[in-house]
Structure 1
Amino acid sequence: MKILFVDGTIIGRKTGVVLETVLNYIKENGCGYQLERLNLADYTHQFVDGRPLDEYNDDMQKLVRKFNEADGYILATPIFQGSIPGVLKNAFDMLHPHTMRYKPISIIANGGTHQHHLVIENQLKPILDYFRCLVTPNYVYTHKNHFDRDNTIIDMDVHNRLRELARVFVRYAEMSKDLSKEILDEG
């Protein structure tokens, strides 16, 4: 299985630190999956305006291919102004509605206030439900107080929740193997 670790922002470091931590916990599970990082900051983005995919630049086409080729996703995003970053929403807008269907996804978010965790429930989950992803129930939200000055996670409870997220994700990934084949057989 190919798992795509999506860093859903083009600025900051905390999101990437949390994503890398989960990547290491997934490796510890010994599942043998192919793990790949996708950093939105590494792409030249264009606004999605409804034109055919082949009319977008190479980076946008590559981004779509990466999502299409993946069998599951770990999505990390900061919360800005009570919302997900525009670049992440723009990336979702590029995807066909079946791209992530019945594929597992775990959510990690970080923000500056404790209330921003509600963005996961009120904005991100509905988008992922539209794609019919298998969203694991145990997302992890981190706050600036969970990090030291060097953006190292210092809160052991956060580490424990990230380990659990990795464990549950692997179970969902195994479950999704049959579901993904069923949707392909339907045409």
Structure 2
Amino acid sequence: MKILLVDGTIIGQKTSAILEQTRLYLLEASPEVEVTILKLADYQHQFVDGRPLGEYNEDMQHIAREFEEADGYIIASPIFQGSIPGVLKNVFDLLHPRTMRYKAVSIVANGGTYQHHLVIENQLKPILDYFRCFVTPNYVYTHTSHFDEQNRITEEDVHDRLRELARVFVKYMEMGCTLSKETLDTH
């Protein structure tokens, strides 16, 4: 099973730190999974405007292929100005509506205020619902106070929640992999 960890920003280090810790807990929960980190900062992005996928640059096509080939996703997003980064929304706009269908998704996010966790509920979850993903009921939201100067997570509670997220995600992914998209699409 292939898990795609999506670093949904092109700046900052905290989102990457959360994903790296999540990767370790995923491998602890299920050592046989293949985990790939997709850092949006590593790609040349184009604005998605509805043209066919083949008309975008190689980086955009590669991002779409990574999503298509994955069996599940951990989406990591900072919260900027009370919203997800535009680059992450642009990637969602790139994907075919069936790309993520019936695949497991967990969310990790970080922000500068404790209220920004509502962005997950009010913006990110509705997008993932549109894709008909199996969104796990638990997500992990971190605050800048949960990190030290080297962007290491210092709060044991955050580590506990990431471990739990990894365990629940693996179960959701197993469930998603047992479903046949073709069978579900015909009904």
Give the TM-score normalised by the residue count of structure 2.
Answer: 0.97
Structural mapping, 1:1-187, within 5 Å: 1-179=1-179, 182-185=180-183, 186=185
Matched letter for residue 98 of structure 2: H
Name the CA distance, whole Å, in 1 between partners of 2:140 and 2:45.
Answer: 27
For the residue of structure 2 that corresponds to 1:108, the secondary structure is strand
TM-superposition CA deviations, 1:90-130 (whole Å, max 9, x none): 00000000000000000000000000000000000000000
Conserved in 2, the CA contact under 8 Å of 1:77 and 1:108?
Answer: yes
Name the CA distance, whole Å, in 2 between partners of 1:150 and 1:177.
Answer: 37
For the residue of structure 2 that corresponds to 1:106, the secondary structure is strand
Name the CA distance, whole Å, in 1 between partners of 2:36 and 2:97.
Answer: 22
Identity %: 68
Name the CA distance, whole Å, in 2 between partners of 1:147 and 1:62.
Answer: 32
Conserved in 1, the CA contact under 8 Å of 2:30 and 2:170?
Answer: no
Deviation at 1:178, TM superposition (A): 1.4
Name the CA distance, whole Å, in 1 between partners of 2:129 and 2:55.
Answer: 28
Name the CA distance, whole Å, in 2 between partners of 1:131 and 1:55.
Answer: 23
TM-superposition CA deviations, 1:11-66 (whole Å, max 9, x none): 00000000000000010113411110100001100000111111110000010000
Unaligned runs of 5+ in 2: none
Name the CA distance, whole Å, in 2 between partners of 1:29 and 1:158.
Answer: 16
Matched letter for residue 107 of structure 1: I
Conserved in 1, the CA contact under 8 Å of 2:106 and 2:165?
Answer: yes
Give the TM-score normalised by the residue count of structure 1.
Answer: 0.97
Matched letter for residue 102 of structure 1: Y
Name the CA distance, whole Å, in 1 between partners of 2:29 and 2:181.
Answer: 27
- Measured on the aligned residues, the alpha-carbon RMSD in Å equals 0.9
Matched letter for residue 13 of structure 2: R
For the residue of structure 1 that corresponds to 2:123, the secondary structure is helix
Runs of 4+ aligned structure 1 residues displaced above 6 Å come to: none
Matched letter for residue 157 of structure 1: D
Conserved in 2, the CA contact under 8 Å of 1:31 and 1:170?
Answer: no
Unaligned runs of 5+ in 1: none
Conserved in 1, the CA contact under 8 Å of 2:110 and 2:144?
Answer: yes
For the residue of structure 2 that corresponds to 1:84, the secondary structure is coil
